[in-house]
Structure 1
């Protein structure tokens, strides 16, 4: 098939009459992927590759200015490389928020590190540093923070905490593409910062990740431990690491050129994407306040001066409108709604003290009642999928959320009147 006949398949639609479901890519990206397929060069095993090199240059400029970056096959792979490159002693403790994605904690297990779960600050959703301080031991060597849902952690307080206790700082920025705290990009948070560039992230290559650091030694170790021989040897100066790179260390975390093309496409238009999403969310937020006053949005993230919310949450009064009933009403109206993922301390790996040892893993069991901040944060939360809010509505087109939210409000009112019969 000639490239000139390639067409860009339309993205799946979200709410009827609304925007397409993210992610989608430009026609130029589709054409570039077509050229790659025709070339047959999917390995990217050489010292350099134009698509990957270009993507890394863009990422360094847009996500982590002034940092050295390394594109990986996934965000989890980037986290694994980060924990390895920091040379943390096996058996050491790493403090990590219980309110985070599972890979934030599990990616360290291959290095023999112990994830020590900490409570969340109920107001911000970030790690509770007072609780983290209470969980410090002589074996604690690092702290991992997550800008969950696109809500930034207070960088000054986190840096001060790590400096006072001599801890390495790892930042999981997988929800933080384009996010800034008091003017500072989230990618500059940690000694090592990591982005997921997969699934439905605001910058997505389908499956990819990024490691960013200001420390050349950490960057070189990450390259030698995880990248193809020729690519690592072209960048690594340390002679011992060059000897290691000649064989590798059992890992192959290189990305595909296709992923690099898709990520670069999103990076080039990230400011426009963030602006469009923020505008759509503000419009829908006003409709929600009018149509469903039983829902109140989480407060705006403190200190955020750039970016957009990756996931969107509203709190409901459990007595007047229980979460399950609200979710059913929203879904019945065609709105993609649900509840947040369970916190880490409720998952079997951390809740069952017999599971990790059976797998040869050293995971401190988490007492279920020792995370009250996380419980308060998640109580009564409704999660509304924002994947159909990445594009502005065409001029003159009624907002489909107006009708859908009115329908949801009617469903909710009807469910209240039926409640006595349901009992």
Structure 2
């Protein structure tokens, strides 16, 4: 986005569900606004109908970032289906991963062909691109090399074939752990799930409802017990790119509007008291008779916190 000269403008989040706050987005529109990007953060889908209506009303393109939401549907509709363009990351610990790489879909074939010319090797682009001008560009390419490696593509293709099984396994495992947390650590409340009809959460978030202990103390206790817990990543409006207006000059990036840290109250309320639990241990079923790491870890954490409660009294 930035190397193309596009200027991102941040929007606030819905403090309850975590998706984009469209009322806040409307207040930040200018005559130069060309598109709205929505992110199905942590695998929690943004209401698709509302996002599509918003873009049609304001004559904007809709870009869906589905990088946390492989296989997710909202009220029976797959994420990525309503955007003019949709992208899925296939890096690191995504539910379909090749270590790197990504996927793109587009409603307009011309947009898809432009992506082919920018990202694919010459022979592949020439075999698929129909537009005469884009075919002429494909002969030499446009100076970019954004295609994945063959190994990454093979891994992603295999993971996509197995995605329904992966999602079903992960959902079953997450349901079991949610029951354990409810019984062992009732002070942690699962963040309400939007109307997701398929898919699994990429990141797992719980709110501390009783503040007998600071959030960092609860996270430290969980980590000591073997549970991968942390605070969520800091929001973009607190990152240097959006708080230091001159930072991008080193790379000759366009001027980026400086974010006022106090103008995103919904995001700040969403993240307050939130505990993030990693879901990497949820991708495979437990071997028969194998003790569950999460059950042992959560039970140990519950014992530690109960002991702290008694000590505080």
Note whether the superposition's TM-score is higher than 0.5: yes
How do 1:282-361 and structure 2 match up within 5 A? 282-301=175-194, 303-317=195-209, 319-357=211-249, 359-361=251-253
Q: Distance in 2 between matches of 1:309 and 1:122?
A: 18
Match of 1:257 in 2: 150
* Mapped partners of 1:417, 1:188: distance in 2: 52
What residue number does 1:202 align with?
A: 95
User: 3-state SS of the aligned residue for 2:282?
Assistant: coil
- CA offsets per residue over residues 231-279 of structure 1, 9 Å max, x none? 1111111111111111111101121221111111111111111011000
- Residue-pair matches, total: 312
- Partner-residue secondary structure (3-state), 1:169: strand
Partner of 1:132: 25
| Further displaced range: 350-359 or 362-371 | 350-359
Q: What is the rounded CA distance, in whole Å, between the counterparts of 2:129 and 2:252 in structure 1?
A: 34
Alpha carbons 1:325, 1:412 under 8 Å: kept = no
Query: CA separation in 1, counterparts of 2:290 and 2:241?
Result: 48
Counterpart selection for 1:270 from 146, 159, 163: 163
Per the alignment, in what secondary structure is the counterpart of residue 382 of structure 1?
strand
Corresponding position of 2:34: 141
Q: Is it true that 1:174 corresponds to 2:67 in the alignment?
A: yes
Greater Cα offset, 332-341 or 182-191: 182-191
Would you say the 8 A contact 1:294–1:321 is kept in 2?
no
Q: Which residue of 2 aligns with 1:7?
A: none
Q: CA 1:255–1:417 in structure 2 vs 1: closer, same or farther (change >3 Å)?
A: same
- Is residue 2:58 matched to residue 1:165? yes
Residues 371-420 of structure 1 deviation map (CA, whole Å, 9 limit, x = unaligned): 00000111111111111111122334443322221210122234455669
Q: Secondary structure at the match of 1:115?
A: coil
Q: Which residue of 1 aligns with 2:136?
A: 243
SS in 2 for 1:153: coil
Distance 2:154 2:252 in 1: 39
Q: Secondary structure at the match of 1:118?
A: coil
| 3-state DSSP of counterpart to 1:174 | coil
Q: What stretches of structure 2 of length at least 5 have no aligned partner?
A: none
Deviation per CA, 1:159-205, whole angstroms, max 9, x where unpaired?
00000000011111000100001111112131010000111000011
Distance (whole Å) between structure 1 residues aligned to residue 308 and residue 2 of structure 2: 46
Instruction: Tell me whether 154-163 or 316-325 shows the greater mean CA deviation.
Output: 316-325
For 1:67-146, list aligned pairs within 5 A.
Answer: 108-146=1-39
The partner residue of 1:383 within 258, 272, 276 is 276
**Structure 2 SS opposite 1:395:** coil
State the secondary structure of the residue aligned to 1:369.
Answer: helix
Report if the CA contact (8 A) 1:152-1:304 is conserved.
yes
- Are the counterparts in 1 of residues 118 and 146 from structure 2 also a CA contact under 8 Å? no
Q: TM-score, normalised by structure 2?
A: 0.96
CA distance change for structure 1 residues 246 and 418 in 2, over 3 Å: closer, same or farther? farther
**Aligned residues of 2:15 and 2:269 also touching (Cα < 8 A):** yes
Which residue is 1:401 aligned to? 294
Q: Which moved more, 1:315-324 or 1:174-183?
A: 315-324
Shift in Å, 1:357: 4.0
SS of 1:334 mapped into structure 2: coil
Report the Cα distance in structure 2 between the residues aligned to 1:359 and 1:213, rounded to whole angstroms. 29
Q: CA RMSD in A?
A: 1.5
C-alpha offsets along residues 128-162 of structure 1, whole Å, 9 cap, x if unaligned? 00000000111111000000100000000000000
Is it true that 1:411 corresponds to 2:304 in the alignment? yes
Report the Cα distance in structure 2 between the residues aligned to 1:170 and 1:300, rounded to whole angstroms: 22
What is the CA distance between 1:227 and its match in structure 2? Answer: 1.5
TM-fit CA distance, 1:358: 5.0
Q: Structure 1 length as normaliser, TM-score?
A: 0.71
